[in-house]
């Protein structure tokens, strides 16, 4: 359904000075290949100019004589038919060679430049803060980038060269025209280019309406499809009449657009016959009058008409090319907008090994997309290295947000988060390199199991990977696959169960050997065997590490060194299970509701 927003996005790009200035940054990517580009330009200039010799020589061919003319004094003997024909072939040959190299060179520049642009856009995007991904839908971003880059590809390989060629043809063509006859040139320029541009605009309108009609036909087919596939419902509700009228509305709109298109096409045809051909006849008619008056020869008139066609066609073509260039400027601007978004600070060369002490000091936070809502409100707590913290609270209380701040995806608006008593400022990579995350829903990359585990430490040896898999209770099921560690997972490979994926994620975390662990417990129930394997692996992983668990399992909560109870972004209670139950406060009522960790717990607490 086209929303207002989408319609806005699809609006034709407009060329503004700001957009052009931003798009000009693209030339940074052209720089390394400028020499090739300049040579390509020389070839382009050469092929365009030699192309312009064609109408002139054709005129000479018309005026030339078949036999040797005794009065010929010209060095090039342009009045000899054989010489002129040979020269014409020479022109084609030069033009063919120039065009060949022009295309090769321009393609080389474009492909190199676009590869660089793709790479730096990708490099930049994955370094952008999480906030950027909250604001932009990933699928949209992806298709936008690939669409924008293909617009640029088209522009740099063809459109730009065509545009320059047309400009050369127009400028040089007009100069040549005036050599033949100034009077005739003025008449031609007053009519032909104007009509050519109008013809192009006409053509565009017709194309647009045809597309519109096609879309409407598509929409009406959807109605047929829907009705036929749900024919039982249609009949059961006696809605045949309703469906017929729905289809009629759709076919009526197809008809009205098609008729509108017919009117445009009819006008277009009359326009071509009357104006465009009329203007050619007018120029030829005037030309013939001038020839009668001895101002121009037949051959020159012939050349003149050919030049006129060249110039007129270029005028017509340039309107279309201009709109394509505007589109490319728009595409570049959007890419530059992404490239101009500030990325996260660069990773430092050496990264500290943390012990795992964590302090939250008066931390308040709102998401940048919703600055008016305080998601965390003056949160204070301290965790000693190796402690096991369960975070509990109702849905929307701020549990995940707290872990996002721990992971340095966002910085607090107020207060500080200290690791081993230190504020790491923008050295977020040092902090992250000491952390591992086991998310609720584990998504594996589309490679092998080995690659997926090694993601925790890409330099790990096979032995280390196997040890991690064993420790994560994953080795048994991995071994059962015929390809073992080399089994491909994901879309084109084996689909792993939720519990198996979790154990892979645990093995990955073990390999990273972090001092701080963030776990978002799965809420979907695993079968009891899988559950106990995961639990056992997790316990092994958590040993000796500071761990924050968004807890949904009773066992995790009861065994935690400290439970943080969050409500509306505030820590309302903290302590061990026994302490909090004894206190008889918020935790106890959550507990009685069996709603700890925001979802009901299967086994009731006795």
What's the burial of 278, exposed, middle or buried (CB within 10 Å: 0-12/13-18/19+)?
middle
In the complex, the smallest distance separating the C-beta of residue 122 from ligand ATP, rounded to whole angstroms, is 23
For residues 574-603, which are near ligand ATP according to CB under 6 A?
598
Is residue 556 a contact point for ligand ATP (CB under 6 A)?
no
| Part in contact with ligand ATP (CB under 6 A); list of ranges 69-77, 287-295, 333-341, 391-399 | 391-399
Enclosing H/E stretch for 364: strand 358-365
In the complex, the smallest distance separating the C-beta of residue 414 from ligand ATP, rounded to whole angstroms, is 16
CB closer to ligand ATP, 253 vs 411: 411
In the complex, the smallest distance separating the C-beta of residue 442 from ligand ATP, rounded to whole angstroms, is 16
Enclosing H/E stretch for 106: helix 81-126
In the complex, the smallest distance separating the C-beta of residue 365 from ligand ATP, rounded to whole angstroms, is 9
Residues 375, 390, 469, 510: which binds ligand ATP (CB under 6 A)? Answer: 375
> What residues form DSSP beta bridges with 564?
391, 574
In the complex, the smallest distance separating the C-beta of residue 256 from ligand ATP, rounded to whole angstroms, is 45
Residues 72, 134, 351, 574: which binds ligand ATP (CB under 6 A)? Answer: 134
Instruction: Tokens for 480, please give them.
Output: 């059962």
Instruction: Tokens for 537, please give them.
Output: 């692996």
In the complex, the smallest distance separating the C-beta of residue 592 from ligand ATP, rounded to whole angstroms, is 19
Task: State the greatest distance between any 2 C-alpha atoms of the chain, in Å, as a whole number.
Answer: 125
CB closer to ligand ATP, 46 vs 412: 412
β-bridge pairing 435-438 and 414-419:
unpaired
Residues 32, 218, 396, 446: which binds ligand ATP (CB under 6 A)? Answer: 396
Is residue 6 a contact point for ligand ATP (CB under 6 A)?
no
Characterise 306 by phi-psi region: left (phi > 0), alpha (psi -120 to 50), beta (else). alpha
In the complex, the smallest distance separating the C-beta of residue 568 from ligand ATP, rounded to whole angstroms, is 9
Rounded Cα distance between 522 and 526, Å, is: 9
Is residue 389 a contact point for ligand ATP (CB under 6 A)?
no
**Inter-CA distances, 541 with 315, 442, 488, 534, 572, Å:** 72, 16, 25, 10, 29
Is residue 512 a contact point for ligand ATP (CB under 6 A)?
no
CB closer to ligand ATP, 305 vs 551: 551
**x-or-dash pattern for ligand ATP, window 354-373, by CB under 6 A?**
-------------x-xx---
CB closer to ligand ATP, 177 vs 580: 580
Decide if 565 contacts 571 (C-beta within 8 A). yes
Query: Cα-flanking dihedrals φ and ψ of residue 70, to 5°?
Result: -65, -30
CB closer to ligand ATP, 393 vs 499: 393
> What residues form DSSP beta bridges with 435?
516
In the complex, the smallest distance separating the C-beta of residue 599 from ligand ATP, rounded to whole angstroms, is 8
Count of residues that interact with ligand ATP, criterion CB under 6 A:
14
**x-or-dash pattern for ligand ATP, window 194-233, by CB under 6 A?**
----------------------------------------
In the complex, the smallest distance separating the C-beta of residue 342 from ligand ATP, rounded to whole angstroms, is 18
CB closer to ligand ATP, 80 vs 401: 401
In the complex, the smallest distance separating the C-beta of residue 130 from ligand ATP, rounded to whole angstroms, is 8
Instruction: Tokens for 121, please give them.
Output: 């856009």
Is residue 508 a contact point for ligand ATP (CB under 6 A)?
no
What is the tally of helices (H) and strands (E) in the chain? 23, 9
Three-state DSSP at 519 gives strand
Least Cα distance to 575 among 432, 387, 445, 418 occurs for 387
Rounded Cα distance between 308 and 283, Å, is: 9
In the complex, the smallest distance separating the C-beta of residue 396 from ligand ATP, rounded to whole angstroms, is 4
| Part in contact with ligand ATP (CB under 6 A); list of ranges 74-82, 248-256, 389-397, 497-505 | 389-397
Rounded Cα distance between 414 and 423, Å, is: 13
Least Cα distance to 145 among 412, 339, 417 occurs for 339
What's the burial of 307, exposed, middle or buried (CB within 10 Å: 0-12/13-18/19+)?
buried
CB closer to ligand ATP, 159 vs 598: 598
Is residue 178 a contact point for ligand ATP (CB under 6 A)?
no
For residues 397-456, which are near ligand ATP according to CB under 6 A?
397-401
Least Cα distance to 106 among 150, 154, 50, 147 occurs for 154
Three-state DSSP at 569 gives coil
Chain positions contacting ligand ATP, by CB under 6 A: 134, 367, 369-370, 375, 393, 395-401, 598
């Amino acid at each position: 359904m086209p929303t207002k927003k989408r319609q806005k996005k699809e609006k034709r790009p407009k060329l503004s000075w700001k957009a052009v200035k931003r798009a000009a940054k693209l030339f940074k990517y052209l720089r390394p290949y400028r020499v090739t580009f300049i040579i390509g330009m020389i070839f382009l200039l050469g092929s365009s100019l030699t192309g312009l010799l064609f109408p002139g020589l054709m005129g000479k061919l018309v005026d030339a004589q078949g036999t040797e003319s005794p009065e010929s004094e010209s060095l090039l003997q342009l009045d000899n038919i054989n010489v002129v024909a040979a020269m014409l072939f020479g022109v084609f040959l030069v033009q063919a060679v120039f065009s060949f190299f022009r295309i090769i060179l321009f393609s080389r520049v474009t492909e190199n430049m676009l590869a660089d642009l793709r790479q730096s856009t990708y490099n930049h995007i994955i370094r952008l803060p999480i906030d950027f991904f909250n604001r932009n839908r990933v699928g949209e971003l992806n298709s936008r980038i690939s669409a924008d880059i293909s617009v640029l590809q088209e522009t740099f390989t063809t459109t730009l060269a065509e545009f320059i060629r047309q400009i050369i043809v127009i400028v040089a063509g007009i100069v040549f025209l005036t050599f033949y006859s100034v009077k005739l040139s003025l008449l031609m320029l007053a009519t032909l280019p104007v009509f050519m541009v109008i013809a192009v605009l006409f053509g565009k309108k017709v194309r647009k309406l045809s597309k519109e009609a096609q879309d409407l036909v598509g929409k009406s087919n959807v109605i047929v499809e829907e009705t036929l596939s749900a024919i039982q419902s249609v009949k059961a509700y006696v809605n045949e009449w309703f469906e017929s009228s729905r289809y009629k509305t759709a076919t009526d709109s197809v008809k009205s657009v098609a008729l509108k298109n017919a009117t445009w096409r009819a006008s277009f045809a009359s326009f071509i016959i009357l104006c465009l051909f009329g203007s050619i006849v007018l120029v030829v008619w005037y030309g013939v009058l001038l020839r009668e008056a001895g101002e121009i020869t037949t051959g020159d008139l012939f050349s003149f008409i050919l030049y006129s066609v060249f110039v007129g066609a270029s005028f017509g073509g340039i309107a279309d090319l201009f709109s394509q260039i505007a589109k490319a400027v728009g595409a570049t601007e959007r890419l530059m907008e992404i490239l101009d978004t500030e990325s996260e600070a660069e990773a430092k060369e050496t990264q500290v090994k943390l012990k795992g002490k964590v302090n939250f000091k008066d931390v308040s936070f709102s998401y940048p997309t919703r600055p008016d809502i305080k998601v965390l409100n003056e949160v204070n707590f301290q965790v000693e290295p190796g402690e096991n913290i369960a975070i509990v609270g109702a849905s929307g209380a701020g549990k995940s947000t707290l872990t996002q701040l721990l992971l340095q995806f966002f910085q607090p608006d107020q207060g500080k988060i200290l690791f081993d008593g230190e504020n790491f400022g923008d050295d977020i990579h040092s902090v992250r390199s000491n952390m591992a995350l086991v998310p609720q829903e584990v998504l594996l990359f589309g490679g092998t199991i080995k690659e997926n585990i090694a993601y925790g430490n890409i330099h790990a040896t096979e032995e280390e990977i196997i040890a991690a898999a064993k420790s994560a209770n994953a080795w048994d099921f991995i071994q059962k696959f015929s390809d073992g560690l080399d089994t491909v997972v994901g879309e084109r490979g084996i689909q792993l169960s939720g519990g198996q994926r979790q154990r892979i994620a645990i093995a990955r975390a073990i390999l990273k050997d972090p001092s701080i662990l963030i776990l978002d417990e799965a809420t979907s129930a695993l079968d009891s065997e899988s559950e106990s394997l995961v639990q056992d692996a997790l316990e092994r992983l958590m040993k000796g590490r500071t761990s924050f668990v968004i807890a949904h399992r009773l066992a995790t909560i009861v065994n935690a060194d400290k439970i943080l109870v969050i409500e509306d972004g505030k820590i309302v209670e903290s302590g061990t299970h026994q302490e909090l139950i004894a206190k008889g406060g918020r935790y106890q009522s959550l507990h009685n509701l069996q709603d700890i960790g925001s979802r009901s717990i299967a086994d009731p607490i006795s």
